[in-house]
A and B are shown apart, each in its own frame.
Chain A
Amino acid sequence: MTNSIGEIGDAACIMAIGTNTTTSHPVLALECWRAVRQGKQLIVINPREIDLVRWATLWLRNNPGSDVALIMGMCRIILEEGLADTEFISQRCEGFEDFKSSLSEFNLDFVESITGIKRETIVKAARMYASSKPASILYTMGITQHSHGTDNVMAIANLAMLTGNIGKPSSGVNPLRGQNNVQGACDMGALPDVFPGYQRVATPEALTKFETAWGCRLNPEPGLTLTEIMEAAYHKKIKAMYLIGENPVLSDPDSKHIRAALSNLEFFAVQDIFLTETARLAHIVLPGVSFAEKDGTFTNTERRVQRVRKAVEAAGEAKPDWWLVSSIARKMNAKGFEFETARDVMDEIAKVTPSYGGISYERLEKKGLQWPCPDKEHPGTPILHSKTFSRGKGFFKALSYRPSKELADSDYPLILTTERSPYQYHTGTMTRKVSGLNKLRANELLEINPADAENLGIKDGDRVMVTSRRGEVETAAKVTKTSPPGVVSMTFHFSESPTNVLTNPALDPLAKTPELKVAAVKVEKARTGTGSN
């Protein structure tokens, strides 16, 4: 997030696009309600009638995968109606002319046809966002999990820069990070192209810096992303894998392929707190500890580094992940893994990561600190880009509309999009162990519009077979107007109905994020009683 959670409620306008905030970030959603209660505007852009729509001033029910057209269309209206912040554009940004030319594609006829939204509503949304300042954009996987996810994000950045909604309190471009420490995992360089603090492995300065800090030669070649690693494992190019606390068999697209890829490995070690569907494929499984049994830090979606404190001792031989990995490193005669406590690790992080330079357990004792926090005296940074952007000037990106890789056709006439339940978490490894949550949400449901259900002869609660080009999954139907006609949705929390058997592994070319939000499927009444896949 460019801004902080506590600022959202003070925005004059919140635009929530591709985020089911009350479900996936329930406590952050309280800020949306705080704004609405004060009479502020809330624009919800989502194909599904999510809970947030109840609070919305304006709801735009766009077709899945049409976000670039919608946002660029809004940009065009803002520019044509003279609502752009010309001073911000000229002083803080570049690339504006190319971007402006690219808007010619997005006339209202085109935008209306792609998005399925009436032009009056698009104009209203554009005016509302541009004229209610400060305006804050919230987005999540509904934006990123597309084969054109990077374009979606660039379009959002264009819209924010066009109206000067960056670098000011309660404004900004605010991706709400999904998992508890996805921000921190990226900050720490658990990415194939960057060292900790996003220092690129391919740049000689960064390479030299880390070779000096770690006392060894390092590989200057950026590595493979998770999705590429799976592909390489499938083709037996990656032969050994060490996997910590992830469950790709359920979380990654095209599960059958993932399962085959992992089964092809010559050596597969997994570290986890439960024997997950993925761990069952491993040659060896090491017992990790849960967050309640270890010390450390998580970095939340607003870049706030916060303490995790050990409350209880772990049972048996379970150990913190950093301890297990360091022990293996030492057994492989590596130097620089003599950490005795999590605090020792943080001290090293602060030394090599400029944005974490001022972070220490002493300072985190009372409250968290938002990076960049370059030195011991720095108070942290609640708002990014207030004077300059990371690259200097903000870059307007010329964009064109690219449809999703799979569209509905006569064989697969419905679009499947994935969602989450507020009562389960990710692949259910942890939450499905909680009996009370299972009472609140026990199994997978295919949400389908009453019109589609009627056409297919499906009634609420019927068992249905959902089939895509990659596989089939049996589940129960929930007939609801939450889903628009032509679109069905499923979560991916339930291993009995592994939704990601169906999803499309088509990748965004830059971010390598798979297109989990759009897959063409067909739905039929299930012939048999149970079973899946």
Chain B
Amino acid sequence: METLNLSIDGKEVKAKQGSTVLAAALDNEIYIPSLCFHPHLSATGGCRLCVVEIEGYKDYVPSCTISATDSMVVRTSTPQLLQLRREALNPILSQHPCACLMCWRQKKCGPDDICLRNVAVTDRCVTCPRNYNCELQQVVCHVNKNDVKIEYSYRNLPIDDSNPFFARDLNRCILCGRCSRVCNEIRGIGAVNVYNWGGDSLNGPFGSKPIFDTNCISCGACVSSCPVGALYFKDSPKAETETKTTCTYCGVGCGLVLGTRENKVINVYPDKESEVNKGYLCVKGHFAIKEMVHHPDRLTVPLINCGGQFSPVNLDEALNIVASRLRNYRSDEVAVISSSKCTNEDNYVAQKFARVVLGTNNVDNCARL
């Protein structure tokens, strides 16, 4: 594949043939703010935040829609561009609370603090599930936007919490359209789209019906793609540590990130770096792990069956019982059923146990079921 050489902000950079100017910049660690752009989705150029100046072009252009060419000279952060971006934010901020973006106490307050700035509860940073992890906050900070040109009023749209795993508060929606595009372009579902075209445009199911009543498959891709707090996972506190692993549901083997705190799995995210799932999950991988892992019915002690009643027994004693009972049988009288849900290591040891210790090849797993 041909490599392109271009100049971005005076830096000579290389880009892949077919890259957009925005992708070329991001690949070379040059940040251009954007809100509607998503690397897996079609570019719309809608938010106008990624505007750049390209030599030879008569006007400023959104870098997400322009293909990079050889010898292109691009500027991404001139004072004029920063001013254009501040202006592009005006209509967005007329629809989205701004206290959470511009309040000087933002970094000082905690969730339990009383808001001293007389900000409505719906507009407070601390009540937003994406606070500190919000792309709009990032962009506002980057372009140093500190005023509001068009007055914002809370839209008072009902919150849709019909889905068991995520909620939709369109009062925070900035109409970037990522949720609609990911649902259509990546998942092929189309449960959410832009509707009410015009001044009251919204992203959601047609006819504003609850998401639960649509063909939504609860995969959570829309939530992961949302740059702000309009779509958010329910019951998803901040994790202390993150562990990369592989999903336990189905043979696709999606990469997962398990967020944990105090020895509990509290969050599950798709691993964006996984070659298998590239940042996407299904409903089970996304939402069926933490409750299962920490379910009160989990077995925590060995149990011995006394006439249909199970009673706990010490682990060492339990292992002794199994060992002594298994000794009583000839190799053709015993069998080991191993598990296609367990690890390779578990299965290796199980079949070795059958062959070496019990002397039998009566070992199988449920591959046929």
- A residues adjacent to B (C-beta < 8 A): 5-6, 22, 24-30, 33, 36-37, 54-55, 144-145, 176-193, 195-196, 201, 210, 214, 216, 218-219, 221-227, 229, 232-233, 237-246, 248, 251-252, 267, 269, 272-275, 282-288, 290-302, 304-322, 324-329, 331-332, 334, 336-337, 339, 342, 345-346, 348-349, 367-368, 422-423, 425, 430-431, 433-437, 439-440, 511-514, 516
* A138–chain B nearest beta-carbon distance, Å: 12
Given contacts A304-B276, A311-B265, contact A188 B360 (CB under 8 A): no
Which stretch of B57-65, B90-98, B172-180, B299-307 is in the interface?
B299-307
Tell me, in angstroms, the Cα distance from A470 to B367 when the chains sit together: 23
| Contacts of B298-318 to chain A: CB distance below 8 A | 298-305, 310, 313, 315, 318
* B250–chain A nearest beta-carbon distance, Å: 6
B325 within 8 A of A: yes
Cβ A310 vs Cβ B243 within 8 A: yes
* B302–chain A nearest beta-carbon distance, Å: 5
B295 within 8 A of A: yes
Given contacts A6-B275, A422-B282, contact A321 B342 (CB under 8 A): yes
30 A-B pairs with CB atoms under 8 Å apart are: A30-B188, A33-B186, A180-B249, A183-B251, A190-B351, A190-B363, A195-B351, A214-B355, A219-B361, A238-B334, A240-B329, A240-B333, A244-B342, A246-B341, A267-B328, A292-B265, A294-B343, A296-B343, A297-B344, A301-B253, A306-B255, A309-B245, A312-B263, A312-B264, A315-B298, A331-B319, A349-B345, A423-B283, A431-B288, A434-B287
Cβ A346 vs Cβ B344 within 8 A: yes
Tell me, in angstroms, the Cα distance from A236 to B302 when the chains sit together: 26
Cβ A185 vs Cβ B282 within 8 A: no
Tell me, in angstroms, the Cα distance from A33 to B275 when the chains sit together: 17
Cβ B282 vs Cβ A248 within 8 A: no
0/1 per residue, B350-361, Cβ < 8 Å to A? 111111110111
Chain A residues within an 8 Å CB radius of B167: none
| Contacts of B229-244 to chain A: CB distance below 8 A | 241, 243-244
Chain B residues within an 8 Å CB radius of A224: 335, 362, 364
Cβ B297 vs Cβ A274 within 8 A: yes
Q: Which residue of B is nearest A180, CB measured?
A: B248
How many residue pairs link A and B with beta carbons under 8 A? The number is 469
Query: Which among B164, B298, B323, B360 is the interface contact of A223 at CB below 8 angstroms?
Result: B360
Place the interface of chain B in its size category.
35 or more
| Contacts of B326-347 to chain A: CB distance below 8 A | 326-329, 331-347
* B362–chain A nearest beta-carbon distance, Å: 4
Cβ A241 vs Cβ B350 within 8 A: no
Cβ B341 vs Cβ A179 within 8 A: yes
* A514–chain B nearest beta-carbon distance, Å: 7
B247 within 8 A of A: yes
Q: Which residue of A is nearest B336, CB measured?
A: A242
Cβ A191 vs Cβ B363 within 8 A: yes
* A498–chain B nearest beta-carbon distance, Å: 14
